[in-house]
């Protein structure tokens, strides 16, 4: 996801001066009972967006909603486990009944079972199912519901620099995934299937897969590739698709370690999701740095 466009200024006091949204603007944030997801829901609600907080655990999701209500913020809640196709179907059916259309989707839900200095692939299937297949299935189920208006609907996939294509050491796979002109959904799915096959065969260490948090990295490479493909397929159709790496953020996944807080990361994420229509790109990969500057890779 390359770009020669100027990067947005995230330090400007008039960050939200070009307000295009209203209370009729509807956003969905997955995996939002804590961390960056919860912080993004809070930011959207503070800015007057109608936002749906989703979480796979109903009790934790409702507690998150209560915490926001205590701050005077109103949000909607519905249980959603993106790793479960049936849960996705139930959620989308509920959404159809409750709302007219969707404007913003933030695919934030993700898992990793490794400590920061570990690299096990014991839970590779669950990681791939949650971090790649889940967001893909949810996105495809919601595509017909996006409000394709002059303000442009938006998908923001929360990803990681570990999912940058350069992390692939297998030159053949890297070449296929990096070929923007020829990239297909089938090729992305084949890459993921090959990785899971290598894991089952015990050969994954010698096949050129990323060396750090391998299963998580592969899941994010697949998500980034799918985002690029989806952006291309919807070019000029009123739907923007971008990726955002929040950087080394203090969340449960990092065991509380990091250079900045979830609120800091979410502030940039919300900005990217709410860029003015005339400044909104598609097919880009943004990354937040330790000084909270944001750039495109």
CB 199, CB 209: distance < 8 Å:
no
Catalytic residue among 16, 216, 226, 286: 216
**Is 244 known to be catalytic?**
no
Q: What are the phi and psi torsion angles at 146 (to 5°)?
A: -70, 140
Distance CA 219, CA 92 (A): 23
Positions marked catalytic: 216
């Amino acid at each position: 996801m390359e770009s020669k466009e100027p990067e947005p200024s995230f330090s400007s006091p008039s960050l939200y001066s070009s307000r295009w949204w209203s209370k009729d603007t509807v956003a969905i944030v997955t995996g939002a009972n804590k961390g960056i997801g919860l912080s993004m829901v809070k930011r959207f609600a503070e800015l007057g967006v109608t936002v749906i907080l989703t979480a796979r655990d109903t009790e934790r999701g409702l507690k998150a909603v209560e915490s926001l209500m205590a701050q005077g913020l109103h949000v909607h809640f519905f249980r959603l486990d993106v790793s479960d196709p049936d849960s996705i179907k139930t959620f989308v059916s509920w959404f159809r009944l409750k709302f007219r259309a969707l404007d913003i989707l933030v695919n934030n839900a993700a898992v990793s079972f490794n400590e920061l200095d570990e690299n096990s692939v014991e839970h590779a299937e669950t990681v791939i199912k949650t971090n790649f297949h889940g967001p893909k299935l949810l996105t495809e189920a919601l595509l017909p519901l996006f409000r394709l208006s002059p303000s442009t609907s938006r998908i923001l996939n929360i990803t990681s620099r570990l999912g940058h294509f350069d992390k692939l050491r297998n030159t053949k796979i890297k070449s296929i995934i990096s070929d923007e002109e020829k990239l297909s959904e089938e090729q992305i799915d084949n890459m993921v299937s090959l990785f899971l096959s290598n894991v089952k065969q015990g050969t994954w260490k010698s096949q050129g897969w990323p060396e750090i948090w391998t299963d998580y990295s592969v899941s994010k490479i697949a998500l980034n590739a799918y985002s690029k493909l989806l952006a291309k397929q919807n070019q000029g159709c009123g739907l923007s698709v971008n990726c955002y790496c929040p950087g080394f953020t203090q969340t449960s996944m990092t065991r509380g370690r990091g250079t900045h807080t979830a609120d800091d990361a979410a502030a940039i994420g919300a900005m990217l999701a709410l860029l003015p229509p005339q400044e909104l790109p598609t097919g880009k990969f943004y990354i937040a740095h330790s000084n909270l500057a944001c750039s495109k890779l």
